[in-house]
């Protein structure tokens, strides 16, 4: 995937396209995309808030036919991973419970026309398999 296919300034300044590679998945025109939010919470007053962008506007001359969020390793659809309700740290009897803030948000899936908005929280990485139409 060449850099010339990227649209100028179409990602917020606090978002970085971490991975863009050809993907042999649902169609012959699929790509694996990973986006990362570059700032920590409260690190910068302007750059730390969540950032949103439209997947359709990321590449010049290409439109997203469908996009599905997957786990970071791209080996499972997000939401298919079994959730742990509580676990014990090694050498500890304390049970660690997830807080509401740590629970996963709903996995994103887009298909057809319309905006395909992605929001990244501070320090978050989100991974998508994207089917492109020419």
pLDDT tens track for 106-131:
777 777 777 889 999 999 999 999 98
What residue spans define the domains of the chain?
Answer: 3-79+107-133
Task: Flag whether pLDDT at 100 surpasses 50.
Answer: no
Over range 12-37, report the average pLDDT. Answer: 87
**pLDDT at residue 3, as a whole number:** 45
**pLDDT at residue 96, as a whole number:** 54
**CA 11 vs CA 1, 17, 75, 104: distances in Å:** 17, 8, 26, 23
Q: Which CATH class is domain 3-79+107-133?
A: mainly beta
pTM, entire model? 0.74
Q: Write out pLDDT tens, residues 61-77.
A: 888 888 999 988 877 77
Q: Pick the closest to residue 55 from 11, 2, 121 (CA basis).
A: 11
């Amino acid at each position: 995937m060449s850099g010339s296919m990227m649209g100028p300034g179409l990602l917020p300044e606090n978002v970085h396209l971490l991975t863009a590679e050809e993907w042999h998945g649902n169609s012959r025109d699929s790509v694996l995309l990973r986006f990362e939010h570059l700032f920590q919470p409260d690190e910068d007053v302007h750059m730390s808030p969540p950032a949103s962008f439209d997947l359709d506007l990321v590449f010049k001359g290409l439109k997203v036919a469908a996009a599905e969020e997957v786990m970071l390793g791209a080996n499972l659809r997000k939401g298919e991973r079994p959730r742990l309700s509580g676990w014990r740290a090694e050498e500890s009897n304390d049970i660690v419970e997830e807080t509401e803030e740590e629970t996963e948000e709903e996995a994103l899936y887009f298909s057809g026309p319309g905006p395909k908005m992605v929001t990244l929280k501070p320090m978050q990485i989100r991974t998508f398999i994207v089917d492109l139409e020419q």
